[in-house]
Amino acid sequence: MHVQICIIGAGPAGLMLARLLHLAGVSSVVLESRARAYVETRVRAGLLEQGSVDLMAATGMDERLRREAMVHDGTEYIAGGQLFHVDMWDLIQRRIYIYGQQEVVKDMIAANLAAGVPVIFEAEARKVGGLDTEKPFVEYAHNGAETTVTCDFIAGCDGFHGVSRAALPDAVRRDYARDYPFGWLGILADAAPTLPELIYCQNEERGFALFTMRSPKISRCYLQVAPDESEDNWSDDRIWTELALRLGDHEGVTLSTGAITQKSVTPMRSFVSEPMRHGRLFIAGDAAHIVPPTGAKGMNLAISDVYVLSRAMTEFYKTGATARFDAYTETCLRRVWGAQHFSWWMTSMMHNLPGENAFDRKRQLAELRTVLGSRAGQTLLAENYAGLPMEM
């Protein structure tokens, strides 16, 4: 098989790239190691920036999103026992949308298959090669057979553990990482959201909590815990008790509880791999970078990466120009490092950090009050949270 673009990974990055290329008349195939049912049900991120929603609309994949997404004009923050509201629409005229990543993936898969774009599930990419030639290749296993696809370019959208990033030579690849001294205990519960908008809670004594949602009847909540904590240590009663303690007492705010259907602990880390291109291989999304979920940037960064990449590929096939290819790493990394800074800032500002003394805690609270207590601080927060315009 030969196609113009071989895309490894059927997550939001790979599927959005396939859709953008199809609309531009560029052929591709998507290889996904997991079964379709798995990728359409795995729970991941659930917040879309304005720019990601606009791109879903521009590519004709927003019909269900517009009907089912929960649209938020603002967010709530609790610091020092005080509740603050950040009105993003008033500040920057941009919104956020709550719509699970698995729902985004369902819509993208349906759109690509309806258009005749081949998405091959249970096709595990084993090797990429020929990156410095005009005919790179991907070897993959499917239905018990080894198969090779040749192409003009490879888009590695296969995550941190995929073959794509590992194919970048050690001599050129530079990795940057930070591991945080805590994790998140995350739960899904059959409970209405505590408030109509997300609540970021910094409890000076007990640590961070986040109250968010997946639908009007399903809540998604998180607690700061030790990075090696086991979810088995947390009974349902203990989780709801701790969430109530970190939320505190506020007029008009009552913790919504229900049956917990999922729970897991996720370590927190930041990671960037540079460059994002080597020869005819381009990496995007989690293959190139990971952010702590505090800033809700992971899925949105992946979509932004492939938007940049699709423009480069479209220009190449239309005119033969390679300037956008040459600028791909630099263009993407401006946004990536901006998102890394915002995610680190939100994480360090909202969490209790081991080893901090009383002075550090008081300084942290002063920072939160400075940001949340002024229009200028709230505007900075809103601009980054709702998402800056995509790089061109």
- Of 77, 180, 200, 222, which residue is the catalytic one? 200
CA dihedral for 228, 230, 233, 239, sign (positive or negative):
positive
How far is it, in rounded angstroms, from Cα 277 to Cα 131?
A: 10
Domain boundaries, the chain: 2-46+100-173+275-346
Q: Is the pLDDT of residue 288 over 60?
A: yes
Q: Annotate 184-226 with three-state secondary structure.
A: EEEEEEECCCCCCCCEEEEECCCEEEEEEEEECCEEEEEEEEC
Q: Mean of the pLDDT values across residues 26-38?
A: 97
Known active-site residue 127: no
Q: Which residue has the tokens 């505090």?
A: 294
Strands 259-274 and 119-120: unpaired
pLDDT in tens, 234-280: 999 999 999 999 999 999 999 999 999 999 999 999 999 999 999 99
Q: What is the pLDDT of residue 313?
A: 97
Q: What is the pLDDT of residue 355?
A: 87
Mean pLDDT of the chain: 95
- Of 77, 99, 328, 385, which residue is the catalytic one? 385
Tell me which residue of 291, 271, 294 sits closest to 347, measured CA to CA: 294
- Of 77, 97, 289, 297, which residue is the catalytic one? 297
- Of 72, 278, 289, 351, which residue is the catalytic one? 72
Q: Is the pLDDT of residue 392 over 60?
A: no
- Of 293, 307, 328, 351, which residue is the catalytic one? 293
Q: Mean of the pLDDT values across residues 367-383?
A: 96
**195's tokens:** 């408030």
Known active-site residue 222: no
Q: Mean of the pLDDT values across residues 142-149?
A: 93
Known active-site residue 200: yes
Q: Band the pLDDT of 44: cuts 50, 70, 90.
A: confident
Known active-site residue 77: no
Phi-psi region of 25 (alpha: psi -120 to 50; beta: other; left: phi over 0): left
Q: What percent of the chain has pLDDT over 90?
A: 94
Q: Is the pLDDT of residue 43 over 90?
A: no
Tell me which residue of 208, 155, 187 sits closest to 346, measured CA to CA: 208
Q: Is the pLDDT of residue 212 over 80?
A: yes
Q: Band the pLDDT of 42: cuts 50, 70, 90.
A: confident
Domain 2-46+100-173+275-346 has CATH 3.40.50.300: no
- In 79-107, which positions are buried (b, 16+ CB within 10 angstroms) versus exposed (e)? beeebbebebeebbebbbbbbbbbbbbbb
Q: Mean of the pLDDT values across residues 38-55?
A: 90
Q: What percent of the chain has pLDDT over 70?
A: 99
Known active-site residue 317: no
H or E segment at 152? strand 145-156
